[in-house]
């Protein structure tokens, strides 16, 4: 288990999402700019408003992913005894990287869930140590096998 590879994999996912969002924003802005005034003025105004709303929605998502990127870049690589932000947790119910809400992530060596400390499971794991256990929201017992 290499935390640098895990961290960089998560950063790559976020960077790809940022690039996709930027492309979508550019397309929405181009659509708004290319909308020509027709005799049906309301149609023009509606299409422009829709494109503007889409651009704003994508912009909010972009801000969230930029925040995720900044948070990931600040994550420590050293091991921890108790679970905190930046911890990699091996358990009998799967592995968790307490980092950003990215869901299931795969590297060549690992498969894990990248979760935020604010996630329900992240809150349950916080400050736990190797050998302790938690009850997952689905009622299963999760035993912490190792903390890095």
pLDDT single digits (tens) 55-96: 889 999 999 999 999 999 999 999 999 999 999 999 999 999
Neighbour tally for 85: CB within 10 Å: 16
pLDDT single digits (tens) 94-136: 999 999 999 999 998 889 999 999 999 999 999 999 999 999 9
Count the helices and strands in the chain (H runs, E runs): 3, 6
The pTM for the full model equals 0.83
Residue 114's contacts (CB-CB under 8 Å, 6 or more residues apart) are 10, 13, 96, 97, 99, 100, 101, 102, 103, 105
pLDDT single digits (tens) 4-26: 999 999 999 999 999 999 999 99
């Amino acid at each position: 288990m290499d935390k640098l590879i895990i961290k960089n994999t998560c950063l790559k996912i976020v960077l790809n999402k940022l690039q996709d969002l930027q492309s979508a924003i550019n397309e929405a802005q181009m659509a708004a700019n290319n909308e020509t005034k027709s005799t049906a003025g309301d149609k023009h105004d509606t299409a422009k408003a829709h494109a503007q709303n889409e651009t704003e929605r994508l912009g909010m998502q972009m801000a969230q992913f930029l925040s995720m990127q900044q948070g990931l870049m600040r994550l420590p690589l050293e091991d921890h005894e108790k679970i905190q932000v930046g911890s990699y947790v091996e358990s009998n119910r799967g592995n968790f990287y307490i980092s950003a809400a990215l869901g299931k992530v795969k590297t060549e060596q690992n498969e894990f869930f990248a979760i935020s400390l604010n996630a329900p499971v992240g809150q349950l794991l916080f400050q736990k140590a190797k050998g302790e256990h938690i009850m997952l929201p689905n009622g299963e017992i999760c035993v912490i096998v190792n903390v890095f």
